[in-house]
Amino acid sequence: MNQLGSCREQLLSRAFVGLADTLVTGYDMIDLLDRLVGYSVELLAADAAGIMLVDSLRTLHVVASSHEDADVMELMQLEADQGPCVECFRTQMPVSVPDLADAVGRWPVFVAAVESRGAYRSVHALPLRLRGEAIGAMNLYHRLPGSLPEADLALGQALADVATIGILSERAIRHGEVVTEQLQTALNNRVIIEQAKGVLAQRGNLTMTASFDLLRRYARSRNALLSEVARQVVENDLATDVLAAPAVHSKAAHLQ
Partner 1 sequence: MRARVVGSVRMAKLGMVARALLAIARDVDSDYELAEQICEACVLGLDVDGAAISLLTASTSRETMCTTDATAKLLEDLQFTLGEGACMEAAVSGGPVLVPDLHHSIEASRWPIFAAAVMEQSEVGALFAMPLQWGTINLGVLDLYRKAPGSLSDAQLRDAISAANMAALMFLGVRTDPGGGAWLDHSLHGHAEIHQATGMVLVQLGISATDALARMRAYAFVDQRLLSDVAHDVVSRRLCFTPDMV
Residues near partner 1 (CB under 8 A) are 55-59, 61-62, 70, 73-74, 77, 80-81, 109, 174-177, 180-182, 184-185, 187-189, 191-192, 194-203, 208, 231, 234-235, 239
Residue 40 Cβ, how far from partner 1 at the closest point, in Å?
20
Closer residue to partner 1, CB minimum distance, 143 or 175:
175
Burial label for 102, CB within 10 Å (0-12, 13-18, 19+), is: exposed
DSSP secondary structure letters along 136-199: EEEEEEESS-SPPPHHHHHHHHHHHHHHHHHHHHTTTTS-THHHHHHHHHHHHHHHHHHHHHHH
Q: Which amino acid is at 204?
A: G
Nearer to partner 1, 46 or 234 (CB): 234
Q: Which stretch of DSSP H or E encloses residue 47?
A: none
Rounded least distance, CB 61 to partner 1, Å: 6
| Rg of the chain in Å (alpha carbons) | 18
Closest contact distance (angstroms) between CB of 214 and partner 1 is 13
Q: Which is nearer to partner 1, 197 or 217 (CB)?
A: 197
| Closer residue to partner 1 (CB): 9 or 181 | 181
**Phi and psi (nearest 5°) for 133?**
-110, 120
Interacting residues of 177 by C-beta distance below 8 A, sequence separation 6+: none
Minimum CB distance to partner 1 smaller for 148 or for 199: 199
CB of 112 to partner 1, least distance (A): 11
Q: In whole angstroms, how close is the CB of 56 to partner 1 at the nearest point? A: 4
